[in-house]
């Protein structure tokens, strides 16, 4: 029986997953509530880690150490960073980076790494699932930092330096933790806003819609992976 770990930052991002999985066994570790369910031939462990890179990294490490998942899926909503990526599209991580680190200052201090590759099997599975469900998906870079991006000038700077498709506040930290543990992972994000001057207004309008869509995709992936 396989074990699949699901990590998301906000209650809205796990709400629909938890409703679909039903009544869980809950294990509280390091202040996090890990919800454990059986679904088909899988044990599914889902957790709400809280916002930000520290929360997500600590939670991801606890999840890996305590439950030893075969696959780790980071899911939720994100800001769009490309004109080709529209609100409610799905972005599947090819690789992930921290956008609030300056590599030129850190390159001389190994071990330093700032590009984290997602698992090819999980990428392809997510892409197939999105196609089957009729959702437009994009495979590319996701970046994360300790700020909600809602300023067009800040967005332009991040795009110039990193060329991402999406931005959030947790994914790169989960990816960093997975990299350190040789843990197969993928990040799946549904776009809730365009991370520009209208970002907060768009986020408020589409948060629940985007969260429901990415939850549906995540559940289908759980049922699909071997």
Q: Report, as residue numbers or ranges, the catalytic residues.
A: 13, 193
- Residue 205: burial class (beta carbons within 10 Å; 0-12, 13-18, 19+): middle
**Inter-residue contact 149 to 79 (CB < 8 Å):** yes
Q: How far is CA 12 from CA 16, 89, 96, 151, 219, in A?
A: 8, 18, 23, 24, 15
Which phi and psi angles does 32 have, rounded to 5°?
Answer: -105, 140
Dist CA 63 CA 138 (whole Å): 27
**Inter-residue contact 211 to 13 (CB < 8 Å):** yes
Dist CA 191 CA 91 (whole Å): 7
């Amino acid at each position: 029986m396989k074990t699949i770990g699901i990590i998301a930052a906000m209650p809205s991002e796990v709400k629909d997953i938890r409703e679909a999985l039903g009544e869980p066994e809950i294990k509280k570790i390091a202040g996090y509530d890990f919800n454990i369910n059986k679904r088909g031939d899988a044990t599914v462990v889902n957790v709400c880690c809280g916002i930000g890179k520290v929360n997500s990294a600590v939670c991801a490490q606890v999840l890996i150490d305590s439950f030893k998942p075969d696959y780790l899926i980071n899911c939720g909503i994100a800001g769009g960073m490309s004109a080709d990526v529209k609100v409610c599209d799905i972005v599947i991580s090819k690789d992930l980076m921290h956008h609030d680190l300056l590599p030129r200052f850190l390159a001389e201090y190994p071990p330093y790494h700032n590009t984290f590759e997602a698992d090819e099997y999980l990428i392809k599975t997510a892409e197939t699932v999105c196609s089957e469900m009729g959702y437009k998906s994009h495979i590319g870079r996701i970046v994360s930092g300790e700020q909600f991006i809602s300023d067009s000038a800040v967005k332009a700077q991040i795009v110039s330096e990193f060329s991402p498709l999406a931005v959030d506040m947790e994914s790169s930290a989960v990816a960093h933790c997975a990299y350190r543990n040789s843990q197969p992972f993928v990040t799946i994000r549904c776009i809730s806003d365009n991370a520009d001057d209208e970002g907060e207004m768009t986020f408020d309008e589409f948060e629940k819609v985007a969260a429901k869509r990415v939850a549906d995709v995540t559940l289908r992936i759980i049922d699909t992976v071997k």
